[in-house]
Amino acid sequence: MRQLEYLVALDNHGHIGRAAASCYVSQPTLSTQIRQLERHLGVSITERVGRGIVVTPVGHELADRARIVLRDTDELLELGRCSSTGLIGPLRIAAIPTAAPYLLARMLPVVRERHPDAQIHLDELKTAALIDDLAAAQLDLALLALPMPAPDVEYLVVLDDPFLLAMDPRHRLARRQTVSSADLASETVLLLENGHCLRGQALEVCRDAGAREVGRGGTSLVTICQMVAAGMGVTLLPASAAPIEARRGAGVVVRPFSDDVPKRELALAWRRRSPAAPLYRELAGLIAQRLADPSPSGSPGSPSQEADESSPAGGSSAA
């Protein structure tokens, strides 16, 4: 089974080093196990091309079959780990990068309270990789934004996450209590790099509003907010991220939209055929209730923050 995992990793990454890193083993270990699998099956799984190694057509076909075997095996183990009342043993949870740092800390206490015998393992993955791992039974639960192009996945929306406009406290719009989508027409909007679902959602808002231009993509919301604080532009920040990225002293303030408030829907997802699906469904409902609770602290970008961080007069527009 371990050799089949290595084969699938090699087929996924197409590179011995990256495949070994994804399996947390050394390159020699992975190469040795692949050679042993080749001897056992009597076929060539890899072929040396130049200075690299590629998976043969037979190897690709074997990897496809191996994915099914590994998924079914994981579901068999999952059935043994769950009872009618709770989850037991490893529970693998992953979230998209624009949600993991801001919501997992609020979700995990719910998981521990409801399933104290579960051994939680966390990861952070972009949407495409997250869906692939979920479908391959490499994950049990996934937190991601809708829409979700995965027909064999069941999900429950756990949070409506409105976008806020984030800006330098000296920005002209920081003087307002709310902003409108029309205000984006003359702004440079900073977005995440390709691969983040939040980029696509923000692009739709920018195009509808006729934003002047879209800045170069940042690698994370942290980076984008640092660019905002430096006066390089504005950005659309999920409300779930605002308590951290627009906290007092961060150099960023946020304002809500007054018209057609843009938002994203975050959902907790699991495999439809998972033996633990009823428990996951119940857990998602509990998490939705917890995330719906208002934060006890004041929201970032409040008038008190504005008074501390905004210049008293003559704010400059973002570049």
Compute the mean pLDDT over every residue in the chain, rounded to the nearest whole number: 83
Q: What is the DSSP letter of 154?
A: E
Contact 162/239 with Cβ under 8 angstroms? yes
User: Among residues 127, 158, 162, which one has the least CA distance to residue 144?
Assistant: 127
* 281 touches 154 (CB < 8 A): yes
Q: For the chain, give every residue range classified as CATH 3.40.190.290.
A: 86-319
| pTM for this model (two decimals) | 0.70
For residues 104 and 114, what is the distance between their CA atoms, to the nearest angstrom?
Answer: 15
Which residues belong to CATH 1.10.10.10 in the chain?
1-81
Residue 257 contacts residue 181 (beta carbons within 8 Å): yes
Rounded to an integer, the average pLDDT of 154-167 is 95
- Note the CATH number of domain 86-319: 3.40.190.290
- Helix, strand, or coil here: 53? strand
Cβ contacts of 77 within 8 Å, gap of 6 or more: none
pLDDT given at position 49: 72
Q: Residue 316: is its pLDDT beyond 50?
A: no
Please give the Cα distance from 152 to 102 (Å, whole number).
Answer: 27
CA dihedral 109, 114, 118, 123 (to 10 degrees): -40
Name the token pair of 42: 């009597």
Q: Per-residue pLDDT tens for 65-105?
A: 888 888 777 777 666 666 556 888 889 999 999 999 999 99
Q: Please tell me the predicted confidence (pLDDT) of residue 164.
A: 94
CA distance 96 to 142: 8
Residue with tokens 């690299």: 52
Q: Strand 52-55 vs strand 46-49: parallel, antiparallel, or unpaired?
A: antiparallel
Q: What is the pLDDT of residue 300?
A: 44
Specify the CATH number for 1-81; select among 3.40.50.1220, 1.10.10.10, 2.60.120.1570, 3.40.120.10: 1.10.10.10
